[in-house]
Amino acid sequence: MQGVNTAMPRQIIIFDTTLRDGEQCPGASMNREEKLAMARQLARLKVDVIEAGFPAASPDDFSGVQDIARQVRGPAIAALCRAIPTDIDRAAEAIAPAERGRIHTFIATSPIHMQHKLRMTPEQVLEAAVAAVKQARKYTSDVEFSAEDAVRSDMDFLCRVVEAVIHAGATTVNIPDTVGYAVPEEFGRRIAQLRSRVPNVDRAVISVHCHNDLGLAVANSLAAVAAGAGQVECTVNGIGERAGNASLEEVVMALKTRHDLFDTTTGVDSTEIIRASRLLTSITGMVVQPNKAIVGANAFSHESGIHQDGLLKNKATYEIMTPESVGLTEHTLVLGKHSGRHAFKSKLEELGYALTEEELGRAFLRFKKLADQKKEVFEEDLDAIVADETQRTADTFVLEKMQASSGTDQIPQAQVTLLVRGEKHTGQAEGDGPVDATYRAIAALSGTRSELTAYIVQAISGGTDAQGIVTVKISDNGRTFTGQGADPDIVVASARAYVNALNKADHWQRQRSRMKGP
């Protein structure tokens, strides 16, 4: 076909580091079950690579990566390690069960990092980088090397390092803007220069990993794609060290919406974006700002009369992408009070959930109760129930019953019945409000010494009968645990969230003492 461009668009590899760089930031730590739930959602989102953690950092990190390598199929599973032999061995062991495992090794290449942090000469760094890649290649053919602080590295030295690691067997070479210092034009130029100056560059994928200190992480990543980068590292909701990493949803939707400009595709199923974003929020309690691009509550709402009028006439007047394309369904009514277990199970399967029989049983009971309370049950209600019921650890505390009262002329009171290791305990307390009274009663019954550090309420699916999702954070022995609960009654949702956090803290303590032995 003369004059018609039939070349296939370039497919950009989406490397998700929510569970590693994202998890590293304050408030985002996740337990094993939560990491696994998030990894499963990333697989549904169809990212190409999941960076599951940093196995040498701690036994918990190691097991988190190993669990994901064992249980999550689809994306390649990557483990991060310093360019240190013991770290690389640990990473290799953690990813061994994966269908496709990647070792991601790194060392800093900027003068400031080499001199002050590593106390190594550039030649020593070069040697360590090459040795690390060679060692990693003994375990897997998929090896990524990162030149930490590449943006502040000397260009001639960076070119030498990139050439040497590719020669040693690196299949992906990552150019991180570790401190979020770059601006788009300059960063794009750096990628273009690497591509023109490094003789063997075609034998590896050039990747970028941008931090958001100047609010430019996504813009820098896109400039790099335009300059020929083949992989973008990013996180859901843009979480990560300090101001975060490039946000996955923004990168993916920019490439998709401005396909005319970039002529690239990704393998990501963008209709899973909202679910991934909400799951991460529910796990970590890190709520996205309402005006956050793509996943913020206002990202697709139009307030101005002129805009609404335009939209009614033609959606394209003010809409550059549809809400449906990111998985924002207009409160899709899914099931009613007469729906049976079979319909419930099929709907969950259609939404991409695979629950165990036990989880399904619990979720179905919750659904029935909700359907009785609420006329209509929407997809987002099911998401909340599933998140609630599948992130449960083996529960020590079970909220059996609770009742709270409050009013203008009344001291708020709560009565709670809690099963503690199967044994029924009932107690009551007064507080500043019904939630405070409930929490005091639960704290006394569970004997916890933890401190409540965050309490967040969100409504899902609109209307006064909407479910409330409560997220709490508690600090126990210096560690933070996040709990979540959903219910149309926000005091009940609050109680569920608190009990969920207490169970996680208790589960962690029990795991710790099992690891230490008798």
Q: Which H, E and C letters describe 126-189, residue by residue?
A: HHHHHHHHHHHHCCCCCEEEEEECHHHCCHHHHHHHHHHHHHHCCCEEEEEECCCCCCHHHHHH
At closest approach, how far in Å is the CB of 21 from ligand KIV?
5
What does 353 interact with, of Zn ion, ligand KIV, none (CB < 5 to 8 A by kind)? none
When asked if residue 21 is in the footprint of ligand KIV (CB under 6 A), the reply is yes
- Contact status: 106 vs ligand KIV (CB under 6 A): yes
Q: Which of residues 201-220 bind ligand KIV (CB under 6 A)?
A: 209, 211
DSSP E strands: which ranges in 423-478?
A: 423-430, 451-460, 467-476
148 binds, among Zn ion, ligand KIV, none (CB under 5 to 8 A by kind): ligand KIV
The verdict on 149 binding Zn ion (CB under 5 A) reads: no
Which parts of 213-326 are beta strand (E)? 231-234, 264-266
Nearer to Zn ion, 251 or 429 (CB): 251
Sign of CA dihedral 107, 111, 112, 118: positive
In sequence order, the 6+-apart residues with CB closer than 8 A to the CB of 304 are: none
Strand-strand pairing, 10-16 and 49-53: parallel
Options 157-165, 170-178, 335-343, 493-501: segment touching ligand KIV (CB under 6 A): 170-178
Distance set, CA 269 to CA 41, 45, 266, 498 (Å): 11, 5, 9, 34
Closer residue to Zn ion, CB minimum distance, 92 or 208: 208
Backbone CA torsion sign across 495, 499, 502, 504: negative
Stretch that binds Zn ion, among 14-22, 199-207, 269-277, 432-440 (CB under 5 A): 14-22
Mark the segment that binds Zn ion (CB under 5 A) among 13-21, 87-95, 370-378, 392-400: 13-21
Binding mask 262-301 for Zn ion (x = CB under 5 A): ----------------------------------------
Q: Give, rounded to a whole angstrom, the gap between the first and last alpha carbons of the chain.
A: 75
8 A C-beta contact, residue 442 and residue 474:
no
Q: How far is 87 from 57, CA to CA, in rounded Å?
A: 9
Q: Is 105 in the site for ligand KIV (CB under 6 A)?
A: no
Token pair in block for residue 356: 């165990």
The piece of 174-182, 361-369, 393-401, 449-457 that touches ligand KIV (CB under 6 A) is: 174-182
Q: Give ∠ CA 15-19-22 in degrees, rounded to 5.
A: 90
Options 60, 148, 250, 272; binder of ligand KIV; rule CB under 6 A = 148
Query: What DSSP designation does 404 have?
Result: E
The yes or no reply on residue 21 touching Zn ion (CB under 5 A) is yes
Q: How far is the CB of 224 from ligand KIV (least distance, A)?
A: 14
Residue nearest to Zn ion (CB): 21
Rank residues 20 and 366 by Cβ distance to ligand KIV and give the closer one: 20
Least CB distance to ligand KIV at residue 174 (A): 6
Q: With respect to ligand KIV, which residue has the nearer C-beta, 178 or 480?
A: 178
Q: 357-369 burial, b for 16+ CB within 10 Å, e for fewer?
A: eebbebbbebbbe
| CB atoms closer than 10 angstroms to residue 515 | 10
499 SS3 class: helix
Residue 476 near Zn ion by CB under 5 A: no
Whole-number Å distance between alpha carbons of 252 and 270: 8
Whole-number minimum distance, CB 205 to ligand KIV, in Å? 14
Nearer to Zn ion, 49 or 360 (CB): 49
Question: Of these, 53, 176, 468, 485, which contacts ligand KIV (CB under 6 A)?
Answer: 176
Nearest residue to 100 via CA among 84, 81, 79, 86 = 79
- Is residue 177 a contact point for Zn ion (CB under 5 A)? no
Q: In angstroms, what is the minimal distance from the CB of 22 to Zn ion?
A: 9
Residues that bind ligand KIV (CB under 6 A): 21, 106, 146, 148, 174, 176, 178, 209, 211
Residues that bind Zn ion (CB under 5 A): 21
